[in-house]
Chains A and B, each alone.
Chain A
Amino acid sequence: MEFLESILVTPFIEIWESPYYFIELVLVGLSTGVLYSLVALGFVLIFKASGMFNFAQGAMVLFAALTLVGLMEHGLPLWAALILSVATMVGLAFLVERFMLRHLVNQEGLILFMATIGLNFILEGTGQLMWGSDVKRLEIGIPDQPFDILGGKVLLNTFDVTAAFIGALLVITLAVFFQKTPMGRALRAVADDHQAALSVGIPLKTIWIAVWTIAGIVALVAGIVWGAKSGVQFSLSLIALKALPVLILGGFTSVPGAIVGGLIIGVGEKVAEGFWGPALGGAIENWFAYMLALAFLVFRPQGLFGEKIIERV
């Protein structure tokens, strides 16, 4: 009884009683959520264009960040290292298309998924082989200072805000790219129907390379932001797991879904940890994100922005 009260009643009273703490958690959740959205977007792009659930997205984040920081350690300035890293991700896209996708056209989703797991191993191995497994410090000049808002009641950090801003910018750019440019429309066409896209003269190969390149750049940005926060190291590849609940919530193919889903998961898990964590013993964030997504799915199997599925026979 007492336990039930501590999870069903007390947290809400606390939210009421300490609104600034709540606001702070929401803001922190939003800024984290943007970064989740960013990683989730990488998944969505590739899933839309090739029906591939790209498990290697996390490894790509690691690989991109390792490349950048590795180049910088060799004395390159940030801009040069950035250009080279982007070039590396483009090269990766070419290689993936040439040696993987091309041979796996029309395979089932699960097989494609497994292939990306193979890619995951390759990238983790190559990244560490080239640049080592040490933790590396990444300094990109984002100011890192706490600052007060709401009269000192809520504390934020310039780094988090900047990172959220960069994330948001990239997310918006991608959304616009998808909706407004011919390339973006082509990508959406491929997602809807491979055959149809081919028949109107869009070369699948180009699209795959394009989409993997974009996913690679998204991974690079995610890697920079997370890497600047916690150092560039192997754990970066694990943040892919944080994007999965976002994907179920938002839908595998929906760009707005990834954005809104990321924000919901970000805020949800922070608030849950902050108010429910103490009663439940803490560290509930991870499963809470999944449970939230699961509960949501049970009531709305098509995801946040999916259309209602009418089954036909």
Chain B
Amino acid sequence: MPDGPQTPTGRVIGDVIMKVENVSLSFGGVRALDNVSFDVREHEILAIIGPNGAGKSSMLNCINGFYHPQEGAITYKGKRRDTAKPYEAAEEGIARTFQNIALFKGMSTLDNIMTGRGLKMKRNLFWQALYYGPALKEELEHRAKAEEVIDFLEIEAIRKTPVGRLPYGLQKRVELGRALAAEPDLLLLDEPMAGMNHEEKEDMVRYILDVNDEYGTTIVLIEHDMSVVMDISDRVVVLDYGKKLAAGTPDEVKRNQDVIDAYLGVSHD
């Protein structure tokens, strides 16, 4: 599937691929992010955790250009990206899933996944109108790629079903499929396991690890389930009230006094 560097099992964490430096973001008077800094290394799985309203989703939104931070800088692959547009993020290889499913409800599973391939398809309007020759060839090639994703996520049976009719867990899976179809270098997952039962969670964890493992995709995820976070992430960033509380390996974070306070509700919640 993706052309990224193939890492053997027992992945090698690479260089810093993205740097978040002193990012601040506010809406009106509300400060959603306050001077947050961290970095993401190639091939790693980085988890962002924190209580509700800590600014986790806002952080992801800043990374893929949906929000533009008022202060600070985000550098991705050596380029500033805090002022870029969302579609530019996609063009640079950043894909994303959403906390509240953001699938295209009127389209089938297959079409949803095919939209993920859109950036890689080049045939112009005239060929497309004819649906013949190069356009047809291209369409079929990408269909094959999309089918690989479908196989990988084991959603063959719902290929032609409009996603609006799928159960929640499957929708989450299709959304992951759409992100994967883009063959991203950096995958942002916003609570991929929220609202899932135990088995669905296990499946999802497996897919995430497989993606990371097989294709070397760098993953930044937001997750509430601590056991999952501690199990799969290489490093963890903790946000609270828009501020970075702590960062480090799961073990380090677990022992951090501020984090324990925040989670045990000393300060709030």
A–B contact (CB under 8 angstroms): yes
Which residues of A approach B to under 8 Å, CB–CB?
A: 310-311, 313
Main secondary structure on chain B at its contact with chain A? Answer: loop
* Given pairs A311-B66, A313-B61, A313-B100, 6 additional interface contacts (CB within 8 A): A310-B27, A313-B57, A313-B66, A313-B98, A313-B99, A313-B102
CA distance A100 to B41 in the complex (A): 59
CA distance A313 to B58 in the complex (A): 9
> For residue A310, which residues in chain B have a CB less than 8 angstroms away from its CB?
27
Whole-angstrom distance between the Cβ of A308 and the nearest chain B Cβ:
9
Whole-angstrom distance between the Cβ of B36 and the nearest chain A Cβ:
19
Q: Could you give 9 example pairs across A and B, Cβ below 8 Å?
A: A310-B27, A311-B66, A313-B57, A313-B61, A313-B66, A313-B98, A313-B99, A313-B100, A313-B102
CA distance A311 to B27 in the complex (A): 11
Encode contact with A along B86-108: 1 for CB under 8 Å, 0 otherwise.
00000000000011101000000
Whole-angstrom distance between the Cβ of B184 and the nearest chain A Cβ:
17
**Interface size grouping (class) on chain B:** under 10
CA distance A311 to B57 in the complex (A): 13
* Chain A residue with Cβ nearest B64: A313
> For residue A313, which residues in chain B have a CB less than 8 angstroms away from its CB?
57, 61, 66, 98-100, 102
CA distance A310 to B25 in the complex (A): 13
Whole-angstrom distance between the Cβ of B10 and the nearest chain A Cβ:
35
CA distance A313 to B57 in the complex (A): 8
* Chain B residue with Cβ nearest A308: B28
* Chain A residue with Cβ nearest B60: A313
For window 31-74 of B, CB contacts with A under 8 Å fall at: 57, 61, 66
> For residue B102, which residues in chain A have a CB less than 8 angstroms away from its CB?
313
CA distance A310 to B61 in the complex (A): 13
> For residue B98, which residues in chain A have a CB less than 8 angstroms away from its CB?
313
> For residue B61, which residues in chain A have a CB less than 8 angstroms away from its CB?
313
Whole-angstrom distance between the Cβ of B80 and the nearest chain A Cβ:
22
In order of increasing CB-CB distance, the 6 nearest A-B pairs are: A313-B98, A310-B27, A313-B102, A313-B66, A313-B61, A313-B57
Whole-angstrom distance between the Cβ of B157 and the nearest chain A Cβ:
29
CA distance A313 to B99 in the complex (A): 7
> For residue B66, which residues in chain A have a CB less than 8 angstroms away from its CB?
311, 313
> For residue A311, which residues in chain B have a CB less than 8 angstroms away from its CB?
66
* Chain A residue with Cβ nearest B96: A313
Whole-angstrom distance between the Cβ of A107 and the nearest chain B Cβ:
15
CA distance A311 to B100 in the complex (A): 13
CA distance A311 to B99 in the complex (A): 14
For window 103-143 of B, CB contacts with A under 8 Å fall at: none
* Chain B residue with Cβ nearest A310: B27
Whole-angstrom distance between the Cβ of A309 and the nearest chain B Cβ:
12
* Chain B residue with Cβ nearest A313: B98
CA distance A310 to B66 in the complex (A): 11
CA distance A311 to B98 in the complex (A): 14
CA distance A3 to B100 in the complex (A): 54
Whole-angstrom distance between the Cβ of B175 and the nearest chain A Cβ:
12
CA distance A311 to B102 in the complex (A): 13
CA distance A311 to B66 in the complex (A): 9
Whole-angstrom distance between the Cβ of B112 and the nearest chain A Cβ:
16
CA distance A310 to B28 in the complex (A): 10
Whole-angstrom distance between the Cβ of A300 and the nearest chain B Cβ:
17
> For residue B57, which residues in chain A have a CB less than 8 angstroms away from its CB?
313
Whole-angstrom distance between the Cβ of B242 and the nearest chain A Cβ:
16
Whole-angstrom distance between the Cβ of B33 and the nearest chain A Cβ:
15
CA distance A313 to B98 in the complex (A): 7
* Chain B residue with Cβ nearest A311: B66
> For residue B99, which residues in chain A have a CB less than 8 angstroms away from its CB?
313
> For residue B100, which residues in chain A have a CB less than 8 angstroms away from its CB?
313
CA distance A311 to B65 in the complex (A): 13
CA distance A198 to B61 in the complex (A): 35
Whole-angstrom distance between the Cβ of B89 and the nearest chain A Cβ:
13
Whole-angstrom distance between the Cβ of A139 and the nearest chain B Cβ:
55
CA distance A313 to B102 in the complex (A): 8
Whole-angstrom distance between the Cβ of A276 and the nearest chain B Cβ:
38
CA distance A51 to B99 in the complex (A): 27
* Chain A residue with Cβ nearest B98: A313
Whole-angstrom distance between the Cβ of B3 and the nearest chain A Cβ:
28
Whole-angstrom distance between the Cβ of B25 and the nearest chain A Cβ:
12
CA distance A310 to B68 in the complex (A): 13
Whole-angstrom distance between the Cβ of A140 and the nearest chain B Cβ:
50
Whole-angstrom distance between the Cβ of B210 and the nearest chain A Cβ:
26
Whole-angstrom distance between the Cβ of A311 and the nearest chain B Cβ:
8
CA distance A310 to B100 in the complex (A): 16
Whole-angstrom distance between the Cβ of A108 and the nearest chain B Cβ:
11
CA distance A311 to B58 in the complex (A): 11
